[in-house]
């Protein structure tokens, strides 16, 4: 199979068939936090139908390792990771400075580039998670620029469409979203929803 987007779609569905219920979309770059939020919207709305689909979650390492690392390493084996990582160092990178007092004990990193530190953190985490039984897929992108971001977005959109069809759902509709919108419009009194509003308010009497 020559198309990486289709390969990713197949691997996601194989993970689901093997009992995984959650895909954790991870990055080691804080600037990718909102890409993770977009990923959740894309895959959640496209695949979450007919009681099917992987639950999409997103994290930014290493900060989220401090909150979720224990579960990812040793918790219920319901998930796998997809790590989105920069394949090559950026043309301009920051190096860790030397600190005379060494108050934080990090002078052993003095002179190291952040790309190299992030890569070592990723490799160490991948090895630990593998030993703990958490499987990982890697998506490598070439640079942090507009063209590469566009390619990455298209890659995920194509993979999502293919994955939905492999799952047996229509990835281009959102019936669940429409259901809650109609209820919300009715309860807020939008014109045309009067009959539905009366029915919903009657149902809500038992929970208020």
Rg of the chain (C-alpha set): 22
DSSP letters along 81-99, please?
EEEEEESS--SS--BPPP-
C-alpha separations of 55 from 44, 155, 208 in Å? 7, 19, 30
Beta bridge partners of 99: none
- Give CA–CA dist 123/106, Å, rounded: 19
Q: Determine the Cα–Cα distance for residues 79 and 25; give it in Å rounded to an integer.
A: 11
Active site residues: 45, 66, 181
Length of the chain: 208
Write out the DSSP string of 29-72. -GGGHHHHHHHHHHHHHHH--TT-SPEEEEEETTHHHHHHHHHH
């Amino acid at each position: 199979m020559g198309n990486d987007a289709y390969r990713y779609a197949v691997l996601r569905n194989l993970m689901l068939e093997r009992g995984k219920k959650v895909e954790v979309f991870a990055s080691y770059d804080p600037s990718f936090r909102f890409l993770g939020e977009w990923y959740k919207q894309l895959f959640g709305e496209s695949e979450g139908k007919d009681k099917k689909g992987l639950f999409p979650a997103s994290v930014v390492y290493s900060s989220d390792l401090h909150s979720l690392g224990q579960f990812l390493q040793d918790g219920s084996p319901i998930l796998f990771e997809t790590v989105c990582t920069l394949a090559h160092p950026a043309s301009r990178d920051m190096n860790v400075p030397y600190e005379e007092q060494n108050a934080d004990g990090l002078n052993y990193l003095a002179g190291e580039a952040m790309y190299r530190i992030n890569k070592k953190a990723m490799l160490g985490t991948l090895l630990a998670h593998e030993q703990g039984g958490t499987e990982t897929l890697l998506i490598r992108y070439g640079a942090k620029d507009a063209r590469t971001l566009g390619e990455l977005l298209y890659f995920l959109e194509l993979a999502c469409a293919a994955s939905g069809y492999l799952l047996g759902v229509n990835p281009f509709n959102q019936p669940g979203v429409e259901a809650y919108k109609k209820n919300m419009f009715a309860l807020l009194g939008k014109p045309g929803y009067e009959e539905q509003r009366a029915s919903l308010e009657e149902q809500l009497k038992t929970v208020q």
